[in-house]
Structure 1
Amino acid sequence: MAAGHSRRSIQRQLGMTYRTVKLLADAAAPEDLFHGQWQNRRTKLDDFKSHLNERWAEGCTNAWTLWEESKTHGYTGGYGAVRACLQPFRTTQAEPAARPPSAHTVSGWILTHPDTLPENERLKLNSVLASCPELEALTGHVRAFGKILTQLQGDQLPHWIKAVRADDLPSLHAFANGLERDLAAVTAGLTLPWSSGVVEGHANRIKMIKRQMYGRSGFGLLRKRVLLA
């Protein structure tokens, strides 16, 4: 029409109906062409879309399974319509789920003194403990034992063992049983200011020298290396 042809002329040249030519000429945008008897037409699946949405939200994403379920509710349409209805859900980009912290990470948070634990890690630990009462009880016992250990409060050890036994924590019960087998020595180690750390350090140094010689030297050579080191 921009070239001067009338609608009737275009109709005759293209072999179209006048109604089609008029529809094309009057459309201001491509979207205006998509109107007619097929728009907003009800389908057999309309009454079952709410059921499909609910099942998808519950985690059932298999189109064939949902089609079979819909047939038991009275749906008489084909599988292709159900699959096409579910396709937009598959192409929607879902937010990636936050990765839960590993057991090693959570253990590190529990073994760190609360005053030195960064704020973001403290909040994450609180979130983990809120969902696991057993882990929350374990954290309390670990921190209480840490206080006994660092502040030399060995007299509190029997009370700590009794508190541990009151909770259903089998692994911690085994640790408490080990403490009770030599309770006097453990209490002394958690009370007195002296330590055998220096002696243990020398023992480890001698073992290291022995390993360096691959077991091929006698006591005399080992003695000289220790004294001259």
Structure 2
Amino acid sequence: MQTKSKWSPGPGAKVLGVALTDDDSWVVSAAGPAFGICPDCGRRTRNRHGWSNRSLQDLPVQGKAVTVKLRLSRWRCAHQNCERQTFSDRLPTIASPYARRTRRVAEIVGLLGHSAGGRPGERLMRRLGMPVSDDTILRQLKRDVALADCDATIRVVGIDDWSWRRSWRYGTVIVDLERRSVVDILDDRSVASAARWLKRHPSVEIVSRDRCGLYAQAAREGAPQARQVADRFHLMQNLRVAIEEQMSLSGRATGRALLPDKIIGSAQVDLIQDDPHVDATHRLRVRHAHRQSRQVVFDTVHALRNEGLSCSEIARRTGYGRRSIAKWLTFETPPDRRRSALKPTSPLYFEAFLAECWKDGNRCGRHLFHDIKQRGYTGSFSNLERLLASWRRAERSVKDSASPAPINPHHPNRDAVIPISDPETGHVISPVVAAALCIKPRGMLTINQASKVDVLKQGSHAFALMRSLAMRFRGILRSGESSKLDIWIDDAVSSGLSPMVRFARVLHRDIDAVRNAIELPWSNGQTEGQINRLKTIKRAMYGKAGTELLRARMLPLINNHHHTN
């Protein structure tokens, strides 16, 4: 049989009795200490003024709920000059003032709220014999976060964005990379909010970020003393995207692979012209060739079907997906591509106004940007400049159409439009696969991947040049020495490949952060991991909870709680 001391809710309380009630729960009767200590003067007293009763929820026993009926005394202070005349017993080791459960139960409530949330925590607490509502769990969780010590010295932080609703609403997560824990969650993605946070923490010495210019500007404004570090993973990803864009100039695994030789030849002659504005007309010619190829592809697919071939066999021969083949066979003519609805983020939304200004001679990008901003444009200046640049190139191409430039067989894009097939399957190698293989070292390639790389290098001068640049860039990132970075940027610019030139120029604009990424060990990997955790918690809450609760569950637990519920 258990003794009464085993039932004690904590030091300072004396157990008077234990009883099992009719509703199959335990009730522990206890009393406070036999004397009181004044919280002001610290003197003991036995002069009792009155009594008070508290009912506290305690840990369960054998799966049954336990309630502690605690009787406390109210004392009179024995010191005549003490300002406090009466005071009540305070047992901080058992429960906080005005609390309805003991500290050990409150700690479990906080742990479950932090790890499981409201509804799951409520179900689990009820099964354990400590029934607590989900609202109580969430209130305590938010209260614990409010009591957290945010004055800890933070030296290295990682900043990145997260999407509460993709392409609609974003927030910012800030991670202490030294302690590998989240320090704050901001409910927006703006320069002002990130800069304000950095200003409140002047101890920050290093800011690790991705290639987003927003956080770079926030770091310059909020922490000018800090060194910015560009994330190495995003550097490689940006390089992969540039390679993919260059390989896309040859066309995806689409109808260009099935074009007649005369169509390919004419397009190739157009693209290999050593025109200083060859990139200006390149996209227009590629789009025109693609429109021509859709009809050729459509006729080829239907011809193979008429021969009695299955969709799988047609897909194997043409390199298309089986679902695409099945969809095209249901049409009598090639289906038109659907153009998405224009939004104020696109300059084409204001195309009529821009065209009128262009016709009137107003062609300054900054002036037009200011004008459409007043009309509700929410996009970037660079997006507008891309549209205006296409209009300028179109005008130049009209002027130069009468005198075409001679053909240069040594142009880097001279074989860009020739599709390259996989030697194993015969399918056209897509730009995505080619870009992924281009940045992968030879030692990490499988036998099949190595054969693809060899075929791409033999069939595309641009791919061979980009792979050489990619391997050099990868080696620079891993070497820890940034002295060769300037030479690499010059070589990338002199390569003549437009996507690689843009990538190199962007690197040069952010050169200090890139150098720090090479020389310093910090990266945004821990921040990306915390974002994955944030997504898991957000989806478990079905996206209905607010940023306050998400922040409470993302921040680390506090060791010493002062629960007040």
TM-score, with normalisation over the residues of structure 1?
0.49
Larger fraction in helix: 1
Larger fraction in strand: 2
Q: Whose RCO is larger (CA < 8 A, sep 6+)?
A: 2
Q: Pick the structure with greater CA Rg.
A: 1
